[in-house]
Structure 1
Amino acid sequence: MSSVRHVSHEFLRRQGLTTVFGNPGSNELPFLAGLPEGFRYVLGLHEGAVVGMADGYAQATGRPVLVNLHAAAGSGNAMGALTNAVASRTPLVVVAGQQVRPAVGPEANLTNVDAPSLMKPLVGWAAEPACAEDVPRALAQAVFEAELQRRPTYLSVPYDDWAADVDDNCLAVLDRRVERARVPDGEQARRLVERVAAAERPALVLGGDIDSAGLFDDAVRLAERLGGPVWAAPSLFRLPFPNRHPLFRGVLPAGIAPVCQALEGHDLVLVLGAPVFRYHEYQPGRYLPEGTRLIQVTEDASAAARAPMGEALVADPGAVIDLLIKRLGSPAAPTGPYRPVPEPPAAERPLLHPEEVFAALRDRLPEDTAYVVESTSTNSSWWRQMDLRRPGSYYFPAAGGLGFGLPGAVGVALAQPDRPVVGVIGDGSANYGITALWTAAQHRVPLTIVLLRNGTYGALRWFGGLLGVPDAPGLDIPGLDFTRIAEGYGVGARQVGGVEELRAVLAERPDGPRLVQVDTALTTPS
């Protein structure tokens, strides 16, 4: 007779969930006992960093990943980071420890009272099994729900359940497989193709799901077939299209009125793999220009249902792209060369302008470098200087919550050890996930962190101007030396004082993690 733990471990192995990100507590130790050969436990020193690393790892691999958290306290610590995973539709499978069953009712210490409700409405599915024998089935549901919904799931398991015996019926879970096929039917396909083909001035808006689903190159082929301008959807967390392609117009602004203004003159807007739309700054106006039709194609049924305008088709964007490429006839005329990069401005020395930093990254690092970016005040400088033409080149905190950048970079680097990975992190955001440096050091992750230090929360200063609050307190953070902090965690670090020194440092190829601190001038997101 097998135990719940044995069957669960075997199910996870068959599903490929053999890398576990966690920070264990007493309730979790029975699950972690006897992890089979081939499993890898990645320790983080704070649950926010744990989830951030797992988020980056899952995005980079395109597969669900297991996260192990400690009861209510650890789950609560992780919730800020979990908002980014929800917004990026990352399939995290979160398993948290619960007190033993006899102690749950009396609410003994470390009881997670009403555990499923704690994580709602963030997660797509949450449960605590009704009995020990149901744990393997519930674990399987957590994995499949995460895959189907592309959203984190949460399972709370009393720690005495792992040692319980199960009968042979429980073994049926080991051979389970759940798949989805979502291709437009004949009438849907005919209507979609007719509307796209009839458009005289079509525009394409692509979301981060395009890159997440491996459709980056397919999106380029479709765009060149349509021949119209391409935007990235607002609040971008992955780059779905080469940012210097002649058809690319940039990231749509995250306000109602400016989106409408950007789409002026187009009779059709085709949105693939994105919500419609994830606004940020409240700038009211018309949703769309007069006479503009919007068609949204997404696998996210919730995003389709909540959109305030347009038509929606809940379908696989990849199948729709393939359909349109096949049905739209000959390719459009050649699109021309990629747009050149402007010369970066210089800041008053000894500071560097962020564009000087990004130009150095562009010139000195390989073209296939993956960048994990969490420096919000330098956003406009970033897009002016970078030339990203490869899938999986860009990661950003999807919900805007700080703390993803450093852990996310560690997760991406763990998932893709043969690809150069760089974290571009502001000093304001670095502190939220700083403990991820320790994990990077322990695993000798070949990762470069470029730390932009301007001594303030730059994006908040910009927002203070937008909101008419120029004198808000708590915006300056002087006196932080991240080189000393990094060295304390075991990561080599250095302060760089000039452009040529920065370029020389970036040209080196480290075999482990390193942090490069650069003092930069204050800029605004746009």
Structure 2
Amino acid sequence: MQVTTSHQTALAQAEQPNHTVRHAVIAMLRELGMTRIFGNPGSTELPLFRDYPEDFSYELGLQEAVVVGMADGYAQATRQASFVNLHSAAGVGHAMANIFTAFKNRTPMIITAGQQARSLLQFDPFLHSRDAAELPKPYVKWSCEPARAEDVPQALARAYYIAMQEPRGPVFVSIPADDWDKPCEPITLRHVGFEARANPHTLSLIGDALDAARSPALVVGAAVDRGQAWDEVVALAERHQARVFVAPMSGRCSFPEDHPLFAGFLPAMRERMVELLGAHDAIFAVGAAAFTYHVEGAGPFIPAGSELFQLIEDPAIAAWAPVGTAAVGNIRLGVQELLARPHITQRQAPARKPTAPVPAAPAAGERMSVAFAMHTLASVRDPLSIIVEEAPSSRPTIQSYLPIFHSETFFTMCSGGLGHSMPAAVGVALAKPEKKVIAVIGDGSAMYAIQALWSAANLRLPITFVILKNRRYAALQDFSKVFGYRDGEKVEGTELPDINFVALAKGHGCDGMHVEDASQLALALQAAIAHPRPIVVEVEVA
């Protein structure tokens, strides 16, 4: 995004009597289009909201991690930085899980937090934040507590430019409570370009390798969809007849999963990745790390006889890649340059990935499988609806039976941190009121941010929350074998009996329904998707 301003407007503001930090910040946010403030207020934040302007809205979350998750979903769906207001040290502490996720998601976000009055700081006052700018590190791109009250608007402007510069991410500004009423000059926003082109020579090396390859493959990551490069990547894959894999732990869909070149999802295991990529002599990681691992591995990082290439907007990711050639720069611009090269002879199309078999309905008295539930949801939802997912143990099954076909219709977290996607669905629904939002959440995940249901109800957002209720932290039980657990051995702290999500939904102001009979699931989901208010569908799964 590029920002311009009117000098005449700034002069007019300066001539107003009693022009304060609050006036300057509100004017700046209005000019940037950031008129939604996501927050959970505390005492040190109250001065910001006195005489709150009518053209601004305050999106209340009942816990700070929920607030940041809502702002994350909103920023991703609008492709614009969101504005968050938290409460001092305790509020930032509550929010840290989703600040970490926003950092991994590369979500542009200006996070502010109140601070006790400057005159009190020398006395170690109640609820103040000592070393406030250090608290959210290292999971913000930049942080500060301005030296003077009149520096606050300029600090927030700098924070905006940094948040929006690729690789995007959250930034943090601590603001003492007495700063808002101090006299202040208005700020003039600047024209800033946020996208940088990759080195042309490096892109030429990548293009030459793709042209010469016998069997090229693309590995796409979240930065493709985040960077509006979906169409370009599809065109590049088709030009080279390259099979397309999804990088491990990708938080977005970056390639249509019904495309003939789609090859599936790579697991976060080195040996298994090498095996799946073994037939390819040129591997191009586009908008993806090369590669993200979850468990310790051994052996080569890529198949013998293959070469690895990468295009990524984040120089830190390019720096730690263990092998290969990396170009650093904007994904869309880089792929456009590769497409501008002279056309090559078409290769024969590779074999199409087989589709998953239709899952069987459960026998009488048995719970339905996740595969059956997701296949049913896929059959009744609009393909243009938006899926916001957080069900880690079910993710491979969801990927097989709830395919995504369009850009900007899938969101999850890139961090692995729970408690993101339920509030993120609220933010996405705020940003995309014309789209149906369906949140697919595991029962364990849901309890990390259940307060998001209240925000959905308060905002009257017609989100369908599908809770996959397997009554356990299944991801931990499944993962225990990696750490030497025997089959059937108890994994402490992983059972979740007796949680009633219909009651929790109603207690937060949402409607709810319980589905145990597989034969009733399709009708229940159809009704829930058509429902005009937020609704929770609790689905009992095996």
Shorter-chain TM-score: what band?
A: over 0.9
Partner of 1:45: 62
Work out whether 1:484 is the aligned partner of 2:484.
no
CA distance in 1, matches of 2:345, 2:81: 37
Alpha-carbon shift at residue 387 of structure 1 (Å): 2.8
CA distance in 2, matches of 1:331, 1:486: 57
CA distance in 2, matches of 1:466, 1:430: 25
Partner of 2:174: 156
Alpha-carbon shift at residue 186 of structure 1 (Å): 4.5
Alpha-carbon shift at residue 188 of structure 1 (Å): 3.6
Q: What is the TM-score normalised by the length of structure 2?
A: 0.92
Partner of 2:410: 394
CA distance in 2, matches of 1:184, 1:299: 8
Q: Structure 1: any 5+ residue segments left out of the alignment? A: 522-526
1:246 and 1:339 in contact (8 A); partners too: no
Change (3 A) 1:40 1:334: farther
Please state whether the residue corresponding to 2:123 is helix, strand or coil.
coil
Q: Deviations over 1:345-374 (max 9, x none)?
A: 334534111111111111111110111111
- The percent identity for this pair of structures is 38
CA distance in 2, matches of 1:449, 1:378: 16
CA distance in 1, matches of 2:125, 2:439: 42
Partner of 1:176: 190
Partner of 2:133: 116
Change (3 A) 1:115 1:511: same
Number of equivalent positions: 517
Partner letter of residue 170 of structure 2? P
Please state whether the residue corresponding to 2:127 is helix, strand or coil.
coil
CA distance in 2, matches of 1:80, 1:318: 30
Partner of 1:413: 429
Alpha-carbon shift at residue 150 of structure 1 (Å): 0.6
Partner of 1:513: 534
Change (3 A) 1:177 1:331: farther
Q: Deviations over 1:295-333 (max 9, x none)?
A: 111111111122222121111111121122221515846
> Residue 218 of structure 1 is aligned with which of 219, 224, 232?
232
Alpha-carbon shift at residue 251 of structure 1 (Å): 1.5
Alpha-carbon shift at residue 58 of structure 1 (Å): 1.0
Alpha-carbon shift at residue 196 of structure 1 (Å): 2.2
Partner letter of residue 541 of structure 2? T
1:235 and 1:280 in contact (8 A); partners too: no
Partner letter of residue 206 of structure 1? V
Partner of 1:132: 149
Q: Deviations over 1:466-520 (max 9, x none)?
A: 2113332111010101000100101000111323322112223111100011100
CA distance in 1, matches of 2:80, 2:348: 36
CA distance in 2, matches of 1:207, 1:186: 22
**Cα RMSD, aligned residues only:** 1.7
Please state whether the residue corresponding to 2:135 is helix, strand or coil.
helix
Change (3 A) 1:481 1:201: same
1:95 and 1:156 in contact (8 A); partners too: yes
1:197 and 1:328 in contact (8 A); partners too: no
CA distance in 1, matches of 2:252, 2:342: 27
Work out whether 1:165 is the aligned partner of 2:180.
no
CA distance in 2, matches of 1:439, 1:360: 28
> Residue 190 of structure 1 is aligned with which of 204, 211, 218?
204
1:103 and 1:111 in contact (8 A); partners too: no
Please state whether the residue corresponding to 2:102 is helix, strand or coil.
helix
Partner letter of residue 180 of structure 2? W
Please state whether the residue corresponding to 1:243 is helix, strand or coil.
coil
Alpha-carbon shift at residue 189 of structure 1 (Å): 4.0
CA distance in 2, matches of 1:482, 1:11: 42
Work out whether 1:343 is the aligned partner of 2:361.
no
Please state whether the residue corresponding to 2:359 is helix, strand or coil.
coil
Partner of 2:79: 62
Work out whether 1:287 is the aligned partner of 2:301.
yes
CA distance in 2, matches of 1:280, 1:340: 26
Please state whether the residue corresponding to 1:450 is helix, strand or coil.
strand
Please state whether the residue corresponding to 1:472 is helix, strand or coil.
coil
Please state whether the residue corresponding to 2:291 is helix, strand or coil.
coil
Change (3 A) 1:468 1:185: closer
Q: What is the TM-score normalised by the length of structure 1?
A: 0.95
Which has the larger displacement, 361-370 or 379-388? 379-388
Work out whether 1:228 is the aligned partner of 2:250.
no
Please state whether the residue corresponding to 1:68 is helix, strand or coil.
strand
Work out whether 1:272 is the aligned partner of 2:286.
yes
Q: Deviations over 1:252-292 (max 9, x none)?
A: 11022222222213221111111222211222221112222
Partner letter of residue 28 of structure 1? E
1:428 and 1:477 in contact (8 A); partners too: yes
Work out whether 1:329 is the aligned partner of 2:352.
no
Partner of 1:446: 462
Please state whether the residue corresponding to 2:468 is helix, strand or coil.
strand
1:9 and 1:35 in contact (8 A); partners too: no
Please state whether the residue corresponding to 1:165 is helix, strand or coil.
coil
Q: Deviations over 1:208-246 (max 9, x none)?
A: 111112222221111111102111111111111112322
CA distance in 2, matches of 1:416, 1:125: 29
CA distance in 2, matches of 1:303, 1:181: 17
1:298 and 1:304 in contact (8 A); partners too: yes
CA distance in 1, matches of 2:203, 2:513: 56
Partner of 1:524: none
Alpha-carbon shift at residue 175 of structure 1 (Å): 2.7
CA distance in 1, matches of 2:375, 2:198: 43
Q: Deviations over 1:400-444 (max 9, x none)?
A: 011012111111111111111101111111100100000000000
Work out whether 1:426 is the aligned partner of 2:445.
no
Please state whether the residue corresponding to 1:205 is helix, strand or coil.
strand
Alpha-carbon shift at residue 185 of structure 1 (Å): 4.8
CA distance in 1, matches of 2:386, 2:138: 31
Partner letter of residue 164 of structure 2? E
